[in-house]
Amino acid sequence: MKLASTTTALTYRRKEFSKAVKREALGRSGGLCEGWGTKVGLIGSTRCNVPFGVAVQYDHVDAINNDDVSVDNCQCLCVTCHAYKTAKIDIPKHAKVKRIFDKHNGIVRPKGKWPKRKFNQPRFDNTKFIGAELDHDT
């Protein structure tokens, strides 16, 4: 059975960058954050340029292509830019790939409805137990 090409994002773990790639990416960045534009929450096409203290995070430029661990797919980001890009771009992309994969392979949510109950209504009728406890106490 041949699966869709999107299965690579689902079945394989993300590959990490090697030390050599990280060194080269950090040298390319000049010690400044490489995040730019609306992908990291900035206005227009401006670059972040925050100097790194001790916190530099290495990010895949193409979030879906995690197998590419070259310098071209590696960027150095500050904590703020990396958190924004992960929350607003990477996670939704991964979720979409997963939905497409599931649809392609016939994986669907189970049909049927959950039983309805009113707000603040107990799940079980406790009155019979309460009455039984009162009878035993006397």
The pTM (predicted TM-score) of the whole model is 0.67
- Distance, CA of 49 to CA of 51 (rounded, Å): 6
Average pLDDT over residues 51-69: 87
- The pLDDT assigned to 1 comes to 40
- The pLDDT assigned to 66 comes to 76
Average pLDDT over residues 3-21: 68
Q: What percent of the chain has pLDDT over 90?
A: 46
Which amino acid is present at 43? I
Q: What is the DSSP letter of 109?
A: P
- The pLDDT assigned to 53 comes to 83
Is pLDDT above 80 for 46? yes
Per the listing, tokens 């995690």 go with 66
- Distance, CA of 60 to CA of 73 (rounded, Å): 5
pLDDT in tens, 105-125: 988 877 777 666 666 666 666
